[in-house]
């Protein structure tokens, strides 16, 4: 994969903790997700998230994006509780940092409602069986 070659070159030139290397790693994880390689995408995204949190700080907006992507991957795998938990964390941070009316904050609220609806439907389906 072209991105893997780019990642290796970027690591050699800029170092493991450079923002360009971090972005490339996140892009590779996103490509895995788009290819349906969800388990690999989750594994890589979890690693990228930890690295970004350590380097950029837990309240950096790029970290929120990675958390959101990870939550979407969890949702794809049916891990709704984990996805909901991540989105609740993101909403809390975005509300404090970006404000209640920022588009990203509003998007986080929508994701939470969506997952809560999925959980409600799933719970109701299980009760009717």
CATH number of the domain at 25, please: 1.25.40.10
- pTM here? 0.88
Domain of residue 43 covers 2-128
Helices (H), 15-101: 19-34, 38-56, 61-76, 80-98
What is the token pair recorded at 25?
């790693």
pLDDT tens digits, 81-125: 999 999 999 999 999 999 999 999 999 999 999 999 999 987 766
- Listed in sequence order, the residues at least 6 apart from 67 whose beta carbon sits closer than 8 Å to its beta carbon are 49, 86, 89, 90
Q: Provide the angle, in degrees to the nearest 10, between the axes of the packed helices 80-98 and 103-128.
A: 160
Tokens of 124: 């109701």
Nearest in space to 7 (alpha carbons), one of 30, 25, 31: 25
The predicted pLDDT at position 46 comes to 97
Q: DSSP for 65-85, please give it.
A: HHHHHHHHHHHHTT-HHHHHH
pLDDT digits (tens, 9 = 90+) for 39-84: 999 999 999 999 999 999 999 999 999 999 999 999 999 999 999 9
For the chain, the domain total comes to 1
């Amino acid at each position: 994969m072209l991105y893997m070659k780019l990642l290796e070159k970027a690591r050699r030139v800029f170092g493991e903790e450079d923002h360009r290397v971090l972005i490339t790693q996140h892009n590779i994880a996103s490509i895995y997700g788009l290819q349906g390689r969800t388990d690999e995408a989750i594994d890589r995204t979890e690693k990228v998230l930890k690295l970004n949190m350590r380097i950029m700080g837990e309240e950096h907006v790029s970290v929120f994006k990675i958390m959101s992507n990870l939550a979407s991957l969890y949702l794809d795998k049916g891990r709704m509780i984990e996805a909901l938990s991540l989105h609740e964390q993101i909403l809390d941070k975005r509300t404090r940092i970006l404000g209640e009316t920022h588009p990203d904050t509003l998007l986080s609220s929508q994701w939470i409602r969506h997952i809560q609806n999925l959980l409600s439907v799933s719970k109701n389906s299980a009760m009717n069986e």
